[in-house]
Amino acid sequence: MKIVTILGARPQFIKAASVSREIKNQVKNGNDINEIIVHTGQHFDENMSDIFFEEMKIPKPHYSLGIRGNFQGQLTGQMIESIESVLLKEGPDWVLVYGDTNSTLAGAIAASKLNIKIAHIEAGLRSFNINMPEEINRILTDRVSSLLFCPTKVAVKNLTNEGFDYWKNNAEIVLSGDVMQDSAIFYKEFSKKPIDISIADNFVLGTIHRAENTDNPDRLRNIFNALNEIAKEKQVILPLHPRTKIALKEVSIDASNLTIINPVGYLNMIWLLDHCSLVMTDSGGLQKEAFFFEKPCIIYRDETEWIELIEYSFNFIVPAESEKILEAFKTFKPSLNYDVDLYGQGKACSLIIDKLVSSTK
């Protein structure tokens, strides 16, 4: 079985690390699987890309497309063109795409036009906000995928609600669990304390990078104001996404109390997750990682794809308004009963590769 895996952005590296490791294990056990990795270049900085390949021992990409551009269409278009050439050359049985980025969509379009089957890891997630670039990418990718690996029961339900049963001869929905839990479990013992900052007890770990927050100066200011206020009480460590760094140049914001650091590698990140007292974020991945590391999480967004975490009161969602974020910080009483299986308990990767193998024969 030949698989071409399309990667491009940080969360995809973290997901692919565990899937590629499972492929290697299955090859050792005699399964005939050849994985060709394609890196589109969507994220390219050392601390947004290389560090993950090195630390997580992800196989070096066979193709680095180095796509750069300023516009969504330009980027996605160039990716489709370059991925198509790779697929024509490699002739895989499957194209494996992850999540909801432009690289995901480009891989899906290139493969579907060549009638190559697509397996989508993290299928079925919906925010029901079609203004999110990620929502567009998810919906279009799901529609042309043959194997839809859903991380949650909610994701399965979203697909059945959208009528995927109608397509059942072409598309199969599989409840696989979340490969990010596989990564959290596997890499936990390798976690590393960041060495270049001093870290107080009970610190808060924050991230901000969703376009809906970074591209809206009011929302961005509101979030920073709230975090800066919280930081008077507890240290707030904020690894800053490059997109947010650029957005901050345009907006005057008081971040004087915050411990702002460069993006960190995954091994530092899971150390921070393991030792913080609270996560505050708009990241999709971080919302679940907070749960994996048994930490409460406040989300500054209008909606979330991971609604089971809200329903179980592990996480709390607030609009990007300073007072509401501060109120949530003061009053949120999270559930502490983490003994619930929402994401497959680390078995997603083996289930996914087994399914790919059995669907290829």
Q: What SS3 class is residue 187?
A: helix
Can you tell me the distance from the alpha carbon of 112 to that of 138, in angstroms, rounded to the nearest whole number?
A: 15
194 binds ligand UDP (CB under 6 A): no
Can you tell me the distance from the alpha carbon of 227 to that of 257, in angstroms, rounded to the nearest whole number?
A: 9
Catalogue the active-site residues.
Answer: 209
The stretch among 10-18, 116-124, 142-150, 243-251 that binds ligand UDP (CB under 6 A) is: 10-18
- The least distance separating ligand UDP from the CB of residue 208, rounded to whole angstroms, comes to 9
DSSP string across 245-285: HHHHHHS----TTSEEE----HHHHHHHHHH-SEEEE--HH
Can you tell me the distance from the alpha carbon of 155 to that of 240, in angstroms, rounded to the nearest whole number?
A: 29
Q: Which residues contact 37 (CB under 8 A, 6 or more apart)?
A: 5, 7, 16, 20, 58, 59, 60, 61, 62, 63
8 binds ligand UDP (CB under 6 A): no
Can you tell me the distance from the alpha carbon of 15 to that of 151, in angstroms, rounded to the nearest whole number?
A: 12
Q: Which two tokens stand for residue 139?
A: 């919906």
18 neighbors 182 (Cβ within 8 angstroms): yes
- The least distance separating ligand UDP from the CB of residue 246, rounded to whole angstroms, comes to 15
Beta-bridge partners for 174: 149
| CA-based torsion, 129, 142, 53, 271: positive or negative | positive
Residue type, 190: F
Interaction pattern, residues 203-222, with ligand UDP; x per rule: CB under 6 A: ----x-x-------------
Between 34 and 131, name the residue whose CB sits nearer to ligand UDP.
131
**Number of chain positions touching ligand UDP (CB under 6 A):** 15
The stretch among 9-17, 67-75, 167-175, 227-235 that binds ligand UDP (CB under 6 A) is: 9-17
CA distances to 4, 23, 36, 71, 318 from 113, in Å: 15, 26, 19, 23, 41
- Local structure of residue 35 (DSSP, 8 states): E
- The least distance separating ligand UDP from the CB of residue 198, rounded to whole angstroms, comes to 18
10 binds ligand UDP (CB under 6 A): yes
Between 41 and 92, name the residue whose CB sits nearer to ligand UDP.
41
Between 26 and 181, name the residue whose CB sits nearer to ligand UDP.
181
Between 22 and 100, name the residue whose CB sits nearer to ligand UDP.
100
Between 59 and 242, name the residue whose CB sits nearer to ligand UDP.
242
Question: Using CB under 6 A, which of 178, 289, 305, 308 touches ligand UDP?
Answer: 289
Interaction pattern, residues 230-269, with ligand UDP; x per rule: CB under 6 A: ---------x-----------------------xx-x--x
Site residues (CB under 6 A) for ligand UDP?
Answer: 10-11, 14, 207, 209, 239, 263-264, 266, 269, 283-286, 289
